[in-house]
Structure 1
Amino acid sequence: MSQLFSHYAIGRLNLANRIVIAPMCQYSADEGKATSWHQIHLGHLALSGASLLIVEATAVAPEGRISPRDLGLWDDETGQALAEVVNNVRRHSSMALGIQLAHAGRKASTRVPWEGGDNISPDQGGWQTLAPSALPFAQTDHPPSAMTDADIEELKADFVAAALRAQRIGFNLIELHAAHGYLLHQFLSPLSNRRTDQYGGSLENRLRLTLEVFQAVRAAVASDIPVGVRISGSDWVEGGWDIRQSIALTKALQASGCDYIHVSSGGLSPRQTIPVGPGYQVPFARQIKEATGMNTIAVGLITEPEQAEAIVATGDADMIALARAVLYDPRWPWHAAAKLGAKVDGPKQYWRCEPHSVKDLFNKE
């Protein structure tokens, strides 16, 4: 039996297989509101046969957007627009839906990637960004403002308010974004956090904000909604965030009731040197799982069914996440099931598409 297509549970959420669709920014929102693009994008991914689809990084405040086109969940308008998309997707798919809540910090206020992705300063139509310390991501960026105690309290309240909106919309899972050089990651890494108060300096202090945000969200939402965290296992820069600190963070989150860790890497510094290759981030997930026993999701150039099967079967991670690979091939789970001799969920309207060489691919119960 394929381990990739075996059942798994994250907290009280039961999943049909170990395939997750990772959050992927679409830069297609209208003042934070989901649009018809999200309807199309999420709709076809929800027919893919994966067990869990996590919606892209969704800003908890307007100034937390990476770009002006980022999805948001900071008021009733943004909540209603996303609820309409989710409700339409659910009419045609039983796939579990999660959402990643985020704040970009000093990496906010940028142009969309296909327009270069450069920082937009306030005098060019952007906005003043926030960070743990007044250190820009790139030397040419407009410097962020170091967050005050009041800013930090407001941030925690914003995460809680967005999480409660996500719960009302009906999301099955909530993920907090503490990876890729965004705000929570900026507090974690000594490269971006030069504070001298309770949120900076020692590892214990640098973990504090991520833990406080997690604890506040966990306490606010229903116990049957799993809450996890996406982290970068390493900054890939000497003297930066690394796997040792990632394990310490995971243990602290675990003690606070965290349901899973989604392990990525990088994104904090332009000086990063990443040895990109097939499954290059999987060792981070393996080390975290071995050290903590936490439910882990591995991501990063996982492209082949046999590769994904091996990651789960050997215990390197409990689940695998697909990003670019599933954009390129939105039926990746179907094709993996066919290769591995497994069954997969698919809409009854498509059951007739089975190739002659593949029999009984779809669950038809």
Structure 2
Amino acid sequence: MPHLTDPDARHDHDHEIETLAEFDAVVARGSLGGYRVQAVDLTARTPDLLAVTTSGAVFLGCPMHPDGLAKVRADGALVFPPVPDLPFDPYRGLLYTAETLFEHLEQGYDATPDALAYAWFQRTGADGDIFASMLRSLHDDAVSDALDEHLVGARVVGVMGGHAMARGTTAYAGAARLGRTLARSGLTVATGGGPGAMEAANLGAYLAPLRDDAVLDDALQLLAKVPSFTPSVTDWARAAFEIRDRWPSGGDSIGIPTWFYGHEPPNAFAGHIAKYFANATREDGLLARCNAGVVFLPGAAGTVQEIFDNATPNYYESRGEPTPMVLVNRAHWTERLPAWPLLRSLAKARPMESRIALVDTVEEAPAALARLAAG
């Protein structure tokens, strides 16, 4: 979250408190001064709040007993109260998980926090209410902060591709193997967090720690029974959780979806999910964090947009040295949607020219990515 008090206050992530355990550890040292406490329920910590100084602290959406609330306000702490009757927490300190977004799935997808947040967005997104837009902005900033904390030191590779890629297809299996290969090479796989190619890459990363390669084939066969999230998101999501229940020790990856495309549910295989209301923030944030490059699988308008969203900072070197870009499927990117000729023309005689590649098959993508990264 943004740091909103005096310039002398501590400004690094080490002075954000996002769990009760972190709160207790700080209180034991005698002062909450300068800390930012995000979305932690402090109703049972009134004695601690009364006992320590909270001057210069910021409390973001933390429920408190009235006595504790009165004391921290008297200390001069800045308090942003919880917002009632919201299906999401605008101050959240941690990334989402599939379990949190799909809670109550047994009652049907419409009962889940993910569906309820989308319904709220639909109701408020077009009415011009500044309060609702402020809440969306606060939420998205909190998610970005949590994502940055989670990815400190990680080498992140993006896998982009269409949401329409169905389970049970050769293309879906290829994207899953790609995610597995990239994860096994030590990279953190990041996708747009939705269905299709995105889900497949997250699935591959999820199953990467399991050294029996036949596991992925078994999982693909089971998922093929529910090929798409249409007509039933409920059945589609349940099939994914059945895979997770059967192989519970999965690897981590990142999904970065958006409620802007709320008809596309998040997939359950990303270990951590940064879900946004603003798609522009989501798109830019996803690509900006792919410091080890991006693989672009066949897709439509969204994937074309992502190619050139990624190409622009590489062209201008606005984020430093250009990062690798690998486009997969020559016929798709030169004939059906000829993004490659334009990308190659843009890159000509610029540093990014040595960081782009077009390959025929998904199996060639990891080696191409490694070659581009090596210079």
Q: Same fold (TM over 0.5)?
A: no
- Between Structure 1 and Structure 2, the one with more strand by share is 1
Calculate the TM-score normalised by the size of structure 1.
0.29
Bigger RCO of structures 1 and 2 (CA < 8 A, at least 6 apart): 1
- Which structure is higher in helix share? 2
